[in-house]
Amino acid sequence: MIVDGVKPYVEFIFDLRRYTGKADSGEKVESLWRQINAGLVGKSINSGSVINLDMPDGNVGLWIVETNGLSQVAADTEFRAMDVLRSPKLVYQCAECGEYGPLRCVKCEEEKRETRLCSKHAHIIKDELSAYCKDHIPTCNCRTGCHEQAIFRCQSCARIFQKREERYRSLYGKHVHKTHPNDPNVDYCQRCYQRQFERCNSTGCNRPGRSKCQYQSRNGEACGAPSCSDHSYQWKIWGPHNRGVNLCEKHQGMMGRSDPADLVFLILTAKAPFAKRGRRYSMPNPFRLRRLINRHRSSPLSFTQIEYALKSLEPLVAELSRNAVKNYEFLMKLFAETMGNLDSLERDSLEKIRSYYQNHVGWDAAAQILGLQIQDRFSRPGEKTRYRVRVQFSGEKGRLIGRGGVYMKQIRDLYNLEVDLD
């Protein structure tokens, strides 16, 4: 049938959504049409109707849009496809599960490769759009080196580390997460929160408590109380010119009554300051260790008592950090060497002091010297080791000191011994 010199044709939409065969190109769609075209002859058609054809690879649908007056398909009926309906093709697949992956790992992008992720398998930092794959999950940057998975960015640290290559340093894990007192959407790490918002723990003080008490006992008791600069105390383990272990007023007052094992434990686990780049100060020698522990004690402890306290910590050593274990082994070695040489060192020092008084003061002065105990040792690079000794004596103290302390000065210059007369 020809109308006004124009042969009518049927307009239709090719529905391939239930067809599982390959029809992803124009040639393959044409090939499929040639397969089904002969089977349409004789079928009735109406505008708006649907013809469903079962094929070996699934169902094919023909949505009749316009028949242009035709009511039945003839052998010479012309068909024109207006559109082709296909099932959507998943272009971006998640590298983990194969589902839709709209997100990209930012670290993989920096490495010039693309890793797509779905929302389930992408690690996302709170309130940020950046996604990370499982191989590039950022870790916590707290000072303990925990390497816990990072979940938020500290707003205060972010202002410090603004460069692209440094921004990772403002990411932290859940264990140090704090929020602004008046705005839960603003996040801080524990250290920045403490600096800005925590108040001094001392009674009647409302100053910022920026110093945190680092006291911890071998039984797991940890303080952490904030203190201001006026109400905090530094236990100078590594010398007077280096930072020490921060203590609050409470634990400063307990130093003279604390179990020596707890004090040794605190020294072992404390993080030493850097002496040089990449190198930290070492543990105090046994003499200095005894001086540190006895500083606030009414009854000083002997080397034997401190060595006993050190040995009592041996069952706990396996649970400590690698650095603390190294400190413990170093101290035990020093104690063994010191205790092995202590008796002979004290005998030699006593002999030198008696000899001095015998030669410079008289036999009777030398006879006043009853005994000696080494109290401390001092050593500096390029100088001879100097000892402080406590001398037990009888009789007049003034005769042993000399006018203006002349005998004490000469003994110090001759033998590197600082004498305390007891």
| Interval 23-62: pLDDT, tens | 878 888 888 888 888 888 888 889 999 989 888 888 989 9
Q: Are residues 74 and 134 in the same domain?
A: no
User: How many domains does the structure of the chain reveal?
Assistant: 4
Q: Looking at the structure, do residues 81 and 108 belong to the same domain, yes or no?
A: no
Q: What is the structure's pLDDT at 6?
A: 61
Average pLDDT of the segment spanning 176-188: 92
How far apart CA 206 and CA 221 sit, in angstroms, is 26
The pLDDT tens digits for 246-296 are 999 999 888 888 899 999 999 888 887 776 665 667 778 888 888 889 888
Report the pLDDT value the prediction gives residue 277, as an integer from 0 to 100.
61
- pLDDT tens, 223-236? 888 898 899 999 88
Please state, in angstroms and rounded to a whole number, the distance separating the CA atoms of residues 192 and 96. 36
Nearest residue to 374 via CA among 382, 362, 386? 386
Predicted confidence at residue 153, as pLDDT, reads 94
Residue 330 lies in a domain: no
* Cα angle 407, 411, 414; round to 5: 135
309/358 same-domain check = no
- What residue numbers bound the domain in which 364 lies? 343-421
pLDDT at 1 over 60: no
Rounded to a whole number, what is the distance in angstroms from the first to the last CA of the chain?
134
* 128 vs 291: CA distance, rounded Å: 53
Q: Is residue 278 part of a domain?
A: yes
Q: Mean pLDDT for the chain?
A: 87
CA 267 – CA 295 distance, rounded (Å): 15
Tell me which of 356 and 321 has the higher pLDDT: 356
Same domain, 192 and 215: no
For 154-163, the pLDDT digits (tens) are 999 999 998 8
Burial state string for 237-272 with b = 16 or more CB within 10 A and e = fewer than 16:
bbeeeeebbbbbbebbebbeebebbbbbbbbbbbeb
pLDDT of residue 141: 92
Q: Is residue 3 included in any domain, yes or no?
A: no
Asked if residue 95 belongs to a domain, the reply is no
Distance from chain centroid for Cα 70: 78
Q: How many CB atoms lie within 10 A of CB 89?
A: 6
Same-domain pairing of 215 and 263: yes
pTM confidence score:
0.55
Among candidate residues 85, 117, 152, the one where a domain is terminated: 85
Quote the tokens at residue 81: 């496809």
Amino acid present at 183: D
The confidence band for 3, taking pLDDT boundaries of 50, 70 and 90, is very low
Same domain, 216 and 192: no
Query: What pairs with residue 3 in β-bridges?
Result: 6
**pLDDT tens, residue by residue, 133-156:** 999 999 999 988 888 999 999 999
